[in-house]
Amino acid sequence: MVHYHRYHHPRKGATDSNRDEESQNLVLDCSTSAYYKRTRPKLLTFLFLITFLSCCYVFSPLFLRPSFSFSLVCNSPGTENDVNRDGVHVCSSVSAGTICCDRSGYRSDICLMKGDIRTHSVSSSVFLYSPRSTDNGSRNAEEVLQHEKIKPYTRKWETSVMDTIDELNLVSKKVNLGSVGGCDVQHDVPAVFFSNGGYTGNLYHEFNDGIIPLYITSQHFNKKVVFVILQYHDWWITKYGNILSRLSDFPVIDFRKDNRTHCFPEAIVGLRIHNELSVDSALMRGNKSIVDFRNLLDQAYWPRIKGLIHDEEREMQEKLREQVSSSPSSKTSQQQYIKQQVLENPMKKPKLVILSRSGSRAIINENLLVKMAKEIGFLVQVLKPGRTTELAKIYRILNESDVMIGVHGAAMTHFLFLRPGSVFIQVIPLGANWAAETYYGEPVKKFGLKYIGYEIHARESSLYGRYNKDDPILRDPSSINRKGWEYTKKIYLDNQNVTLDLRRFKKRLHRAYEYTLSKSKLSHQHQPM
Ligand SMILES: *[C@@H]1O[C@H](CO)[C@@H](O)[C@H](O)[C@H]1NC(C)=O
Ligand SMILES: *[C@@H]1O[C@H](CO)[C@@H](O)[C@H](O)[C@H]1NC(C)=O
Ligand SMILES: *[C@@H]1O[C@H](CO)[C@@H](O)[C@H](O)[C@H]1NC(C)=O
Ligand SMILES: *[C@@H]1O[C@H](CO)[C@@H](O)[C@H](O)[C@H]1NC(C)=O
Ligand SMILES: *[C@@H]1O[C@H](CO)[C@@H](O)[C@H](O)[C@H]1NC(C)=O
């Protein structure tokens, strides 16, 4: 809790909201440069390490920690090695009465326990008891067999953020069962322990570090699992309740606040994670993929969306009834109007959604973009998700869409709400190529979307008016990227808007339009006549 307030306090003040957004982007892009490091040749590797060092430097005020070690923060998340060549996890079969910790993963540690497991919140511990033979002299003595410490969060390589994560003691002991307290709550299903601290509060991180790893770790339990949450937040439960209820049949436990002794037959402490916003089906039981995750989202949001549709229909009917009763003469024209609506609708236009940003990385000529998209034949909706916008409502809009357009930033995480086969056009401001490609370009392709990365030209950037045409800021953004993270952030991310060259952008829109039409024709062909 303490950590939460420290991190997210700025969110509370309205004037600080921009700052928070900056920090979110910072978080996002900082680790990107780490990732980038291993996907580029050696020279660049070195240069980007430097970039990343300065990135870490920018981090430090955020964590109010003047002296933390760079060297550890600035490693890149490599491929996971918590799975051997056969796709079998280390610790996949833990025997009763033991704790098995797999610390080989780059992004997370994970411990498995089996047997008589009991929570002890006051000492931040989870005990695993095995009975002592009764005839031993010192009756009250306990014998500690194993003591493991673990921070159940998925950004193991970033020490700065891991410093803020609560640590759990996992202790297996031989005890006289008669001399230890009993269970306040006995569960007969496994527990999964994880932390909701760290970067929770940023949509990208909430999915990448939290929800998707939770899916990876717990989906095979078929909801017969209890989630025990460290650094618990009520708002997170509200925001992700729909999804949580598809993963677990049981109420979550707030580990810090609920000091009762919860007993479990089995526990997983920590979450498994694969790669950026993805599920590697080769590492999943039942070959589950990111598409299965997306199907789970669909099931999760459907009850809420059904309710919304129902409410809207009722409201509409009431409105009509009022109008009709207030002017009886127009009754027939009302009915005609409804008939006409029904007749007009069957030929649906492809729907395009623009995820709109304000502040920095806004599309200045968004209105003209809307107009052009309509002229091409799209139904257009501009979406500005706020902090409290219900995810189900955003899901509903994107699930009905064929094309999503947005300027690179954390909100691009919403691509997970598009139906596979849809089109995602990411507008990439100057100096943001690597982040855009690593965080969204790659995962989006694995997810099964048609991806169009639109790298803007210098003339489309608000920086064009501010710098000389020969300035490296316009001519050679990667040279600026190499100078250090704070340059990238200040120049390109926090202070750049985009005015799309509509003639150039139009080609992408046409492509998206034609792609959508050809796809829907295909699907019609497959329908039995
Ligand atoms: C009795 O307890 C001691 C330590 O307390 C232990 O070393 C010994 O193995 C125990 N004996 C039995 C039979 O459990
Ligand atoms: C458990 O929590 C309750 C209320 O939060 C408190 O009254 C009680 O003293 C706590 N018990 C222990 C052992 O800390
Ligand atoms: C697993 O799923 C992938 C797609 O996600 C598919 O290509 C592959 O054939 C599947 N493998 C098995 C063994 O089912
Ligand atoms: C999403 O769209 C698909 C296809 O139109 C539909 O079958 C599904 O019910 C929609 N999901 C939700 C949650 O509305
Ligand atoms: C970008 O546009 C927004 C309006 O959408 C404006 O508030 C902001 O000052 C602009 N920033 C720059 C750097 O032009």
Burial letters 471-491, b for 16+ CB under 10 A, else e: eebbeebeebbbbbbebbbeb
- Domain CATH for 491: 3.40.50
Rounded alpha-carbon distances, angstroms, from residue 149 to 110, 357, 485: 10, 42, 33
- pLDDT (tens digit per residue) in 126-158: 999 998 776 555 656 678 999 999 999 999 999
For residue 360, report the distance from its CA to the centre of ligand 5, in Å.
6
Tell me the angle at which helices 234-247 and 290-326 cross, rounded to the nearest 10 degrees. Answer: 110
Residue 92, in any domain of the structure: no
Ligand 4 atom nearest to CA at 299: 13
Q: Are residues 378 and 439 in the same domain?
A: yes
241-260 pLDDT per residue, tens = 999 999 999 999 999 999 99
- Looking at per-residue pLDDT, the higher value among 67 and 395 belongs to 395
Minimum mean pLDDT range among 8-22, 25-39, 204-218: 8-22
Which is the closest atom of ligand 3 to the Cα of 287? 1
Query: What pLDDT is stored for residue 140 in this prediction?
Result: 61
Examine residue 282 and state whether it is found in any structural domain, yes or no: no
**Nearest-CA residue for atom 8 of ligand 1:** 136
Return the pLDDT at 242: 97
- The confidence score (pLDDT) of residue 168 equals 98
Instruction: Using the 3D structure, point to which of 254, 273, 292 is the last residue of a domain.
Output: 273
**Do both 108 and 159 map to the same domain?**
yes
For residue 212, pLDDT over 70 is answered with yes
Q: Is residue 21 part of a domain?
A: yes
pLDDT score of 352: 97
Q: How many CB atoms lie within 10 A of CB 16?
A: 14
199 and 163 in contact (C-beta within 8 Å)? no
Residue appearing with tokens 């982007």 = 25
Looking at the structure, tell me whether residues 372 and 237 fall in a common domain. no
Q: How confident is the model at residue 330 (pLDDT cuts 50, 70, 90)?
A: low
Looking at the fold, whether 519 and 387 belong to one and the same domain comes out as yes
Same domain, 253 and 392: no
Q: Which residues contact 65 (CB under 8 A, 6 or more apart)?
A: 160, 163
Contact by Cβ (8 Å): 473, 463? yes
In a domain, residue 310? The reply is no
Which of 273, 292, 319 is at the close of a domain? 273
Tell me the pLDDT tens digit for each residue of 413-443.
Answer: 999 999 999 999 999 999 999 889 999 999 9
Tokens of 476: 């050679």
Residues 31, 159, single domain; the answer is no
Residue 33 is assigned to a structural domain of this protein: yes
Based on the fold, state whether residues 121 and 171 are members of the same structural domain. yes
Residue 153 domain-assigned (yes or no): yes
Average pLDDT over the chain, rounded to an integer: 82
Confidence of residue 347 (pLDDT cuts 50, 70, 90): low
55 has a pLDDT exceeding 80: no
- Mean pLDDT, to the nearest integer, of 394-418? 96
Same domain membership, residue 160 and residue 34? no
68 and 180 co-located in one domain = no
Quick one: 104 and 65 in the same domain? no
pTM above 0.85, yes or no: no
What is the average pLDDT across 103-113? 95
Among 304, 399, 419, 422, the mutation site with the greatest number of ligand 4 atoms within 8 A of its Cβ is: 399
Residue 319 lies in a domain: no
Element (H, E) at 514: helix 502-525
Residue 476 in this model has a pLDDT that exceeds 80: yes
CA of 457 from ligand 5 middle (Å) equals 18
Domain-ending residue, one of 240, 273, 306: 273
| pLDDT of the residue at 81 | 39
Whether residue 342 lies inside any domain: the answer is: no
> How many folded domains does the chain comprise?
3
Same domain, 377 and 489: yes
Q: State whether 383 and 487 are in the same domain.
A: yes
Q: Which domain holds residue 208?
A: 99-273
Best residue for ligand 2 mutational test, from 122, 259, 260 (most atoms within 8 Å of Cβ): 259
